[in-house]
Amino acid sequence: MSKSIIVVGEVAADGVAKATLECISEAKRAGADTVEAILFGKAAKVAAGAAGKAGATSVRYVEESTYSLAQRAATVEGAIKESSPGLVLMSANTYGKELAGVLAARLKAGFASECLEVRFGDDGQPRALRPMYSGKVLARVKLNGPTSFATLRQNTVPVTDDGADVAVSELALAGSANGVVLTGADAGATGGEVDLSEASVVVAGGRGLKEPENFKLIEDLAAPLKAAIGATRMVVDAGWKDFHYQVGQTGKVVTPSLYIAVGISGAIQHLVGMQNSGCIVAINNDPGAPIFKVADYGIVADLFEATPKLAERLKN
Ligand code: FAD
């Protein structure tokens, strides 16, 4: 059993994606002898060095002009066959969820999704800690077999930067696009706004807002703070906001320095997505709302009065 890890990740416009650096850092903490990072992206070569700082022992970059799942799968499959790593780790972001599922099925390998931690056991097999049953339990699972797969939930582990410079080489994109060619991509519902997963301040709204139009209050509070906007599943299910905005177990996990929850009850499925934020401020008119159990500052008030006042203060 090889205690080596291949981390597959992305290079964004501003460098190696934070989600990828989280995976590399976690791979190092897992006790891997070697951590190879395979980075996909347009300017992957330029950014690849940062992966070494996070703990990669080698880096291969794949310059891809457009995203192709089939080609990524063929490329990573080739790399796995070359080095037989004990674990292939990716972020549980859109790319990782898709690619890990395809490869684990194709190679008939074990797969633990949405992990909060990965570690090699004394027997050399990887173990993972992952939420189950809507986050009600944290399961410790052992991955058997020569090569296993895991995806790591975003924003749940720290990024380390005490690694060294490493050798960077190119890995050729393999396979073909299988007839599917990505001809364009919209920035999505959050286009032009601060990215929720990476934001240092998040203002989120819940059903307490009562009407979709009242989300304007959240936008007005977010603007002076340059904050990203979040929402509960209630809000998303009601069609007030797109799924991209959802924070929680089935949405995004965020760890901003400041999280302001407005009209949000604090159901466990929402809390697992934001409770590790640096400072939590909650506005709710029910003093018994569970959100106050995790809040550093609680404002028991009618949000329709308190939120505009707070926004006005911040604007000035
Ligand atoms: P509510 O629970 O209805 O809370 C509204 C709050 O607004 C209340 O606390 C109320 O006191 C307050 N309020 C009302 N009027 C005012 C006012 N005028 N001023 C101030 N406060 C006011 N939820 C998520 O958010 N994210 C997830 O990813 C998620 N995943 C789920 C997965 C599963 C499998 C399941 C079963 C559920 C999931 N949920 C998730 C749903 C979750 O259980 C809750 O139903 C949801 O988070 C509640 O949303 P809310 O706080 O907006 O609404």
Distance 56 CA to ligand 1 centre (A): 40
Percent of the chain with pLDDT over 90: 74
Per-residue confidence band for 190, with pLDDT thresholds at 50, 70 and 90: very low
Q: Is 254 exposed, middle or buried (0-12, 13-18, 19+ CB in 10 A)?
A: buried
Residue 193: predicted pLDDT: 65
Radius of gyration of the chain (CA): 21
What is the β-pairing status of strands 15-16 and 4-12? Answer: antiparallel
Give the residue whose CA is nearest to atom 18 of ligand 1: 302
Phi, psi of 166 (to 5 degrees): -130, 165
Check if 233 has its Cβ closer than 6 Å to any atom of ligand 1: yes
Q: Please state, in angstroms and rounded to a whole number, the distance separating the CA atoms of residues 75 and 44.
A: 15
For all residues of the chain together, what is the average pLDDT?
A: 92
Residue 64: predicted pLDDT: 85
Pick from 27-31, 60-64, 192-196, 250-254 the range whose average pLDDT is largest. Answer: 27-31
Residue 314: predicted pLDDT: 92
Q: What are the tens digits of pLDDT across the range 253-303?
A: 898 999 999 999 999 999 999 998 999 999 999 999 999 999 999 999 999
Chain centre distance of CA 288:
31
pLDDT at 44 over 80: no
Per-residue confidence band for 191, with pLDDT thresholds at 50, 70 and 90: very low
Specify the higher pLDDT residue, 137 or 185.
Answer: 137
Per-residue confidence band for 215, with pLDDT thresholds at 50, 70 and 90: very high
Residue 58: predicted pLDDT: 94
Chain centre distance of CA 238:
24
Check if 76 has its Cβ closer than 6 Å to any atom of ligand 1: no
Per-residue confidence band for 194, with pLDDT thresholds at 50, 70 and 90: confident
Give the residue whose CA is nearest to atom 48 of ligand 1: 234
Residues near 216 by beta carbon (within 8 Å), at least 6 away in sequence: none
Q: What are the tens digits of pLDDT across the range 129-160?
A: 998 876 778 899 999 999 999 999 988 899 99
Residue 179: predicted pLDDT: 77
Nearest atom, ligand 1, residue 286 CA: 11
Least confident of 77-81, 163-167, 193-197, 201-205: 193-197
Average pLDDT for 219-227: 94
Check if 305 has its Cβ closer than 6 Å to any atom of ligand 1: no
Least confident of 21-35, 62-76, 181-195, 213-227: 181-195
Residue 48: predicted pLDDT: 76
Residue 276: predicted pLDDT: 87
Residue 28: predicted pLDDT: 96
Q: What are the tens digits of pLDDT across the range 89-123?
A: 999 988 999 999 999 999 999 999 999 999 999 99
Rounded to two decimals, the pTM is: 0.79
For residue 131, CA distances in Å to 99, 114, 116, 269, 302 come to 21, 7, 8, 11, 34
Nearest atom, ligand 1, residue 206 CA: 52
Check if 242 has its Cβ closer than 6 Å to any atom of ligand 1: no
pLDDT at 13 over 50: yes
Average pLDDT for 6-14: 90
Check if 113 has its Cβ closer than 6 Å to any atom of ligand 1: no
Residue 46: predicted pLDDT: 76
